[in-house]
Structure 1
Amino acid sequence: MNQATLRDQAQAMRTLPKAEVHVHLEGCFEADTLAAWARQSGTPLPRPPERLFQFDGLADFLQFLDWACGLAATPDRLAELSYQYCGRLAANGGGYADMIVNPTHWHAWHGRLGAMLDAIDAGFTAAEQDGLPPVGLCISLLRTQTAQQAAELVDALIDLRHPRVVALSIDGNEAAAGRTGPRFAEAFRRAGAAGLRRTVHAGESSGPDGVRDAITLLGADRIDHGVRAIDDPSLVALLAERQIALGVCPTSNLVLGVYPSIEAHPVELLRQVVLRQPVEQAGVAATAASAYTRLLSLPAFETVAISIPPYLRWPMMRYPRLGRRRNAALQQKRLVQPAILQTITFLTNAARRRALG
């Protein structure tokens, strides 16, 4: 495939309407914004600005997230960060996003979850008022937390009934934390009973067992990453049988050394047997469009139709037993079937008008 063709396909990926369902607010900082906030706060950068987003692995990346989140200590900064993301989402053809937020990384906001959600919501609301895409929040536990801390977070989410929140999540370094599914099973059960969706980081830095626990113990509606499921054929069959989507992040996997190259990445094998995995950006310096374009270097992805799995109805199902629904305009749209690649594309009203003329 020549460079001109790749450029044309990259442009097609930017203009194609889509949704992002695996993106972390902790990973949405712009280097210039971080540098400016650090100067204002008198906080040293962890490395030169030109290498700010170069990491030595997952542990280094997670430490960086804590440093970056520490700079967002005011409501205005959280709102600015949220608004900036919506601008990038729109520029890459995004029509909706599920944004993962882990409160443990945001030290200035500990004990103030409601205020933190309100600050993020202010940025997203301003963006929506300016015609930018809507965003739902997936509030995440950290794997090193206790069962009691997990229960307290779920209690807080149920009490707050914040209309911006769509799901409970869990993330963190699987390899370092070990098996945690049994510890959090009750919290996830209660979250599901209360009407929250459940999404679980698993099968990234550890093997397939974490993916199985996410399904059988945590009731995951979606798996974030999940690529190591390919090591267990019976697990892949279970994913396909239960129609559980994988939020696959090839760029993140390459940057953090999970796989050495896109050719070695199992996304094509997973696509063949599961047929429901979206492709997303996670928390590295990438966009959904660039992730799709990277996959287009693989011949198998040149003629695969796009489909819209049912979990994109999440925006219509926010707290069905807890609170009011938002973004009524995000009703299910007709399928779009250009021959590019299978992803989680859907059309909002505005995107549909642009696409259909």
Structure 2
Amino acid sequence: MNTSVQNAKASRLKSLPKAEVHLHLEGSFGASLIAQWARLEGVSLPRPQEDLFKFSGLADFLGFLDLACGLACTTDRLVELSYGLSQRLADNGTGYADVIFNPTHWHAWHGRLGAMLEAIDAGFTQAEQDGLPSVGLCVSLLRTQSADAAIELVDMLTTMRHPRVVALSVDGNEAAAGRTGPRFADAFRRATNAGLRRTVHAGESSGPEGVWDAVELLGADRIDHGVRAIEDPALVRMLADRQIPLGICPTSNLVLRVYPSMQEHPIERLRAAGVPVSVNTDDPALLDASLVGEYALCQRTFGWNDDVTRSVAHTSIEASFANEDTKAKLLGALATW
């Protein structure tokens, strides 16, 4: 395909009204920004800047997140990071995003969740005032935390009732942590009672059992990843019957070696089975992923036409935790795309 055709396709996908629902603040640092902050803090990087994002697997990737987030140790840096993420959303024509952040990665802010939320909110508020997309925050537990720590976080969020926070999340390496659904069930019940939505990482490094737990024990409104549900036909039927959406990140699944190729990736099989799926970037800067690029990748691999592309975008909007006015505006624009 020649460059002009590629550019035309990318421009059309940018104009597609859509939301992004699986996106981590921790994954929005560019390599140059990390290198700059590391120099200022006197911190050694594990690899040269040009190889910084060459990860050996999920464990290496998660360890790197701790290093990067540790450099965001001032209010100004969190404001800069949040504003930059909003600019990335606008560059891809994204109308709204649910952004996940996990307080455990941000060492400089431990014990100061309120101040951290205010700094992140300041960046997103400034961005919205400048006409950039609106953002909701999903505050995430780390899978290795205790049940008591999970409840403590939910209690803090309930007390603060920060208007930017829309959901409770849980993320981390399922394979390393083992089964955690029972441990966090009480925290997720409390989140539900407090009016928070629920989104759960599952079915990435774990198999289908993690997705079952996310739905049955944690009451997930949405599953982040969920791709390995394809290994259990009964689970696929349940997700389709209950219309529980999956926030799928194809490039992430390839880079972190969940699947060896797009041809083997199950997103199209899940969609064809009636499971609501959206495409997302997960950690866009660290994985060199863009939302326009994720749609284009699926179009090339699976032959998605306009109707399929529109239906996936529709799922992204409906699956988001945006307010009803934002959803209605995006869905109205999508209908005439």
Unpaired runs of 5+ residues, structure 2, are: none
Q: Which residue of 2 aligns with 1:68?
A: 68
3-state SS of 2:322 partner? helix
Identity of matched residues, %: 62
Deviation at 1:332, TM superposition (A): 1.4
Q: Which residue of 1 aligns with 2:292?
A: 289
Give the counterpart of 2:328 among 332, 351, 354: 332
- Structure 1 residues 299-310: aligned runs within 5 Å: 299-305=302-308, 306-307=310-311, 308-309=314-315
Comparing 78-87 with 274-283, which one deviates more in the overlay?
274-283
3-state SS of 1:301 partner? coil
Q: Which residue of 2 aligns with 1:265?
A: 265
Note if contact 1:66-1:106 (Cα within 8 Å) is conserved in structure 2.
yes
Q: Which residue of 1 aligns with 2:246?
A: 246
Change beyond 3 A, Cα 1:302–1:45: same
CA distance in 1, matches of 2:306, 2:128: 34
CA distance in 2, matches of 1:184, 1:101: 17
CA distance in 2, matches of 1:107, 1:189: 27
Deviation at 1:59, TM superposition (A): 0.3
3-state SS of 1:198 partner? strand
Q: Which residue of 2 aligns with 1:133?
A: 133
3-state SS of 2:188 partner? helix
Deviation at 1:4, TM superposition (A): 5.2
Deviation at 1:3, TM superposition (A): 6.2
Deviation at 1:300, TM superposition (A): 3.3
CA distance in 2, matches of 1:304, 1:260: 28
- Structure 1 residues 106-255: aligned runs within 5 Å: 106-255=106-255
Note if contact 1:268-1:300 (Cα within 8 Å) is conserved in structure 2.
no
- Structure ranking higher on relative contact order (CA contacts 8 Å, 6+ apart): 2
3-state SS of 1:286 partner? coil
Change beyond 3 A, Cα 1:227–1:263: same
3-state SS of 1:304 partner? helix
Deviation at 1:302, TM superposition (A): 2.6
Q: Which residue of 2 aligns with 1:20?
A: 20
Question: Normalising by structure 1, what TM-score?
Answer: 0.88
Q: Residue by residue, what CA displacement relative to the aligned partner does 1:97-135 show, whole Å, maximum 9, x if unpaired?
A: 000000000000001000000000000011011111111
- The residue type paired with residue 328 of structure 2 is Q
CA distance in 1, matches of 2:201, 2:330: 30
Q: Which residue of 1 aligns with 2:322?
A: 315
CA distance in 2, matches of 1:334, 1:117: 27
Note if contact 2:203-2:227 (Cα within 8 Å) is conserved in structure 1.
yes
- Residue-pair matches, total: 330
CA-based RMSD of the aligned residues comes to 1.8
Change beyond 3 A, Cα 1:37–1:167: same
Deviation at 1:266, TM superposition (A): 0.6
Q: Which residue of 2 aligns with 1:276?
A: 276
CA distance in 1, matches of 2:327, 2:96: 12
Q: Residue by residue, what CA displacement relative to the aligned partner does 1:21-72 show, whole Å, maximum 9, x if unpaired?
A: 0000000001111111111111112111111111100000000100000000
CA distance in 1, matches of 2:122, 2:174: 33
- The residue type paired with residue 246 of structure 1 is L
The answer as to 2:49 corresponding to 1:49 is yes
Question: Normalising by structure 2, what TM-score?
Answer: 0.93
Deviation at 1:301, TM superposition (A): 1.3
CA distance in 1, matches of 2:276, 2:89: 22
Q: Residue by residue, what CA displacement relative to the aligned partner does 1:248-291 show, whole Å, maximum 9, x if unpaired?
A: 00000000011011111011101101341100000122111111
CA distance in 2, matches of 1:159, 1:203: 31
Deviation at 1:136, TM superposition (A): 0.5
Comparing 6-15 with 28-37, which one deviates more in the overlay?
6-15
3-state SS of 2:300 partner? coil
Change beyond 3 A, Cα 1:170–1:63: same
- The residue type paired with residue 326 of structure 2 is L
Unpaired runs of 5+ residues, structure 1, are: 318-328, 337-345
Change beyond 3 A, Cα 1:4–1:84: same
CA distance in 1, matches of 2:123, 2:300: 36
